[in-house]
């Protein structure tokens, strides 16, 4: 049995005991990790009962074959965070030593979520047997992923054991006094969903504004058309009234002059032709010799 936890470690264990819901079914934007009941793993190592199935764009992950494999088993005198507690709890429940596998799927400098970490907490073999705990997630590097897997395994094992934990040293690890933060993948997915909801809300608000503006324009144009129709009708009535009250300027006889290009009006006075009469001073006699 490992020594008891100090006060700071107990507080950290109490705070991190409950597992985030995303770790049971991790997912990212470009890849999907599926757990099956067959024995397959790309690379030189195999994980019993685990198949890693990658789906997504090859350009985002490069080669599908892991570039590096890691393995870690408790019970060998390690001193990682949560290691002694998880190993002691496994011994207390009669379980084999937990095992942890790591597969590096890409080695890009500064890349995030390059490792797939798999935790295998086998159940008790002797009756009464216990259920096996198998989960996986993605992390940026092997050491951070291993520490996270140790914490997650301790939290899940405490939560699954329940009444079997009579020892007060472990009974408090499965309690939760306040909501815990989400895992990295779930937190990023929630932020992305929130951004998508905001974009949809903005688009819908813009559509509503455009629809209201269009309806207002249609209403204004319809009112303008009605006003123009009323104006045209009034003008037609005024024209009819003026035609009834006015004189027919097209009536009467039309007179033509000797010159076909001059049309004489019936009301033309004689003095209008005075300019055609030439005086005597304007008359110049011309002598014509007769032959």
121 vs 50: CA distance, rounded Å: 12
**Each residue's pLDDT tens digit, 89-113:** 898 888 999 999 999 988 777 767 7
Query: Mean pLDDT over residues 187-208, rounded?
Result: 92
Which pLDDT does position 15 carry in this prediction? Answer: 40
Query: Mean pLDDT over residues 218-245, rounded?
Result: 91
Which pLDDT does position 217 carry in this prediction? Answer: 95
In the chain, where the domains are located: 7-178, 182-231
Average pLDDT of the chain, as a whole number: 71
């Amino acid at each position: 049995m490992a020594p008891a936890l100090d006060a700071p470690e107990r507080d950290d264990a109490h705070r991190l005991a409950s597992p985030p819901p995303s770790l049971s079914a991790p997912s990212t934007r470009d890849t999907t990790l599926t757990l099956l009941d067959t024995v397959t793993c790309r690379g030189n190592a195999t994980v019993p009962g685990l198949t890693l199935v990658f789906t997504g764009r090859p350009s985002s992950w490069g080669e599908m074959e892991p570039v590096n494999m890691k393995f870690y088993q408790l019970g060998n005198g390690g001193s990682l965070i949560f290691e002694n507690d998880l190993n002691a709890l496994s011994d207390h429940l009669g379980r084999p030593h937990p095992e942890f596998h790591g597969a590096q799927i890409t080695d890009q400098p500064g890349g995030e979520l390059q490792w797939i970490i798999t935790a295998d907490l086998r159940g008790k073999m002797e009756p009464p047997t216990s259920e096996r705990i198998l989960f996986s997630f993605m992390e940026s590097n092997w050491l951070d992923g291993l520490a996270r897997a140790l914490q997650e395994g301790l939290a899940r094992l405490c939560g699954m054991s329940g009444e079997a934990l009579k020892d007060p040293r472990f009974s408090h690890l499965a309690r939760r006094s306040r909501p815990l933060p989400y895992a990295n993948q779930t937190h990023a997915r929630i932020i992305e969903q929130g951004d998508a909801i905001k974009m949809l809300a903005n688009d819908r608000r813009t559509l509503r504004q455009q629809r209201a503006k269009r309806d207002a324009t249609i209403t204004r144009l319809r009112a303008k058309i009605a006003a123009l129709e009323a104006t045209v009708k009034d003008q037609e009535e005024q024209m009819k009234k003026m035609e009834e009250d006015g004189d027919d300027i097209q009536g009467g006889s039309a007179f033509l002059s000797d010159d076909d290009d001059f049309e004489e009006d019936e009301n033309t006075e004689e003095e209008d032709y005075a300019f055609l009469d030439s005086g005597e001073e304007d008359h110049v006699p011309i002598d014509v010799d007769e032959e």
